[in-house]
Copies of this chain bind each other. A is one copy, B any other.
Amino acid sequence: MTEPYADLDAYREATADERLADYLDFLRIPSISALSEHAPDVRRAAEFVAQRLRTIGVENVDVSETGGHPVVYGDWLHAEGAPTVIVYGHYDVQPVDPLDLWVKPPFDPRVEDGRVYARGAADDKGQVHLHLAAAEAWLKKRGALPINLRFCFEGEEESGSVHLDRWLEANRARLQADVAVVSDSGFFEGNLPAITIGLRGLMYAQIDVTGPHLDLHSGGFGGAVRNPATTLAEILASLHRPDGAVAVPGFYDDVRPLTDRERDQIARLPFDEQAYKQMIGVDALYGESGYSTLERRGARPTLDVNGLWGGFQGEGAKTIIPAHAHAKISCRLVVDQDPARVFELVRDHVLAVAPTGVRVQVTLHSSGPPSLTPIDHPATQAAARCLELIFGQPALYIREGGSVPVTASFERILGLPVVLLGFTPPDDQAHAPNESMRLDNYENGIRTVVRYWGELASLPR
């Protein structure tokens, strides 16, 4: 299987330097979709991707409006009789705080010890870029792709893919395909290749507790009024049971129980709990009782406080009763939980425990359904063969704890099977300071994708 692609590998090797320079330029754009002051940067990143698509010979390139940040679309449809594949990635990135923990500024990429360090290096600009490189090799070296490709690069994945579904619905006509390849996932452990078959859904909300119309002197008013910060803490504490399970009534009602076979598959994955704890920096793991760590983080729903704030947070002391306090919370959901229903359950629970003397509001921020994709689809099997060839190990089939809402959207709106093909080991620190991408995985990712498209040319239709 190697020989047929020797010319493409040679092209890849010959263009490594300019490709790296282009990748770093891409990383320099602070395309943080969640922060409105970065909207022009997000737009700039979209234009960057569009320009790159045009340069390598992709056609019908379009920075397509969504009502939010644009989707960059482009296609190449001249492989008559061959299947059509949608390639999805996202060019937006997570916020960067806490900024002081970055060794170098997050948008000033550096190459060190075989890694590229920058926000978005792995999630997801690196994976977008390696797909562009695979297309470039085919088009520049052979003047054609072995399959028909439609590229869809999103700009709102890190802020909830708020406008994507509507865009997919509106663009059904130009999104006809046989399979969607989503490249926004990673490896399981170390450098073991993996294909993700399960993704958790997401429900992200904010809780606002408002009390007095001003911060009050905690001496003069302490004992007279309900403290919004204390109340927020009590509300948040009410969300879990002492055994680690989510305490929101009805939360588990729609959860599809794990079968014995599924539990057995998960139990056989290589997992070194000691090394995992050390990587994270904790002395004990924790979660819903009755489930293993791998089950809890991949196949069971969770509720986490993502942030909380209120009152005085500076140096020293300020003796106030805060006028208000806030928390961001989110649930990771599994099949068959419905994010909208889970939001209602959480909201109803919070409002039910909210006491008098404060006003409590719960607002849905974003959501995405969970998904579970088929292992036995020929496109999944082809991906597994290519991964094994390039990375020298059989690919694992895993359930990822994260959410890629688009996966469920491709399934539901476009009726497509989805293959989740990503190339980043779990120590990439996506969403955290000092995010990085291994350069060998980036290059091997290109080799894998080059071959994958060749393999898909013979996909039964």
> Residues on A close to B: CB < 8 A?
33-36, 94-95, 97-98, 101, 159-160, 200, 202, 204, 211-227, 229-230, 232-240, 276, 280-288, 291, 293, 296-298, 300, 302, 304-322, 325-328, 330, 332, 355-358, 365-366, 400-403, 426, 429-433
Contacts and interface: CB of A to CB of B under 8 A. Distances in A.
B224 A233 contact: no
A411 to B, nearest CB: 18
B229 A317 contact: no
Given A300-B223, A330-B319, A430 B230 contact: no
Nearest to A429: B214
Closest 3 interchain pairs by CB? Answer: A219-B402, A34-B316, A213-B281
A283 B210 CA distance: 11
Given A217-B432, A429-B214, A286 B321 contact: no
Nearest to A430: B217
Contacts of A225: 280, 282, 285-287
Nearest to A316: B34
A242 to B, nearest CB: 9
Contacts of A312: 95, 97, 306-307, 328
14 contacts: A212-B280, A212-B282, A214-B429, A218-B306, A218-B330, A225-B280, A230-B240, A233-B236, A233-B327, A237-B238, A284-B356, A305-B322, A308-B313, A317-B365
User: Could you say which of A218, A282, A298, A431 has the most chain B C-beta atoms within 10 Å of its C-beta?
Assistant: A218
Contacts of A307: 229, 310-313, 318, 320, 322
Nearest to A217: B431
Contacts of A224: 276, 280, 285-287, 293, 296-297, 401
A283 B328 contact: no
A35 B315 contact: yes
A402 B328 contact: no
A214 to B, nearest CB: 4
Contacts of A325: 308
Nearest to A200: B219
Contact of A233 (B159, B308, B318): B308
Given A212-B282, A308-B308, A313-B326, 9 more contacts: A34-B316, A34-B317, A36-B315, A212-B280, A218-B332, A283-B356, A283-B357, A306-B321, A311-B328
B300 A318 contact: no
Contact of A357 (B236, B285, B288, B330): B285
Nearest to A160: B317
A214 B286 contact: no
A117 B225 CA distance: 25
A221 B357 CA distance: 36
Contacts of A282: 211-212, 225-226, 357-358
B311 A317 contact: no
A101 B213 CA distance: 10
Given A315-B34, A317-B366, A332 B222 contact: yes
Contacts of A318: 34, 94-95, 306-307, 328, 431
A200 B35 CA distance: 44
A24 B332 CA distance: 55
A349 to B, nearest CB: 15
A312 B309 CA distance: 9
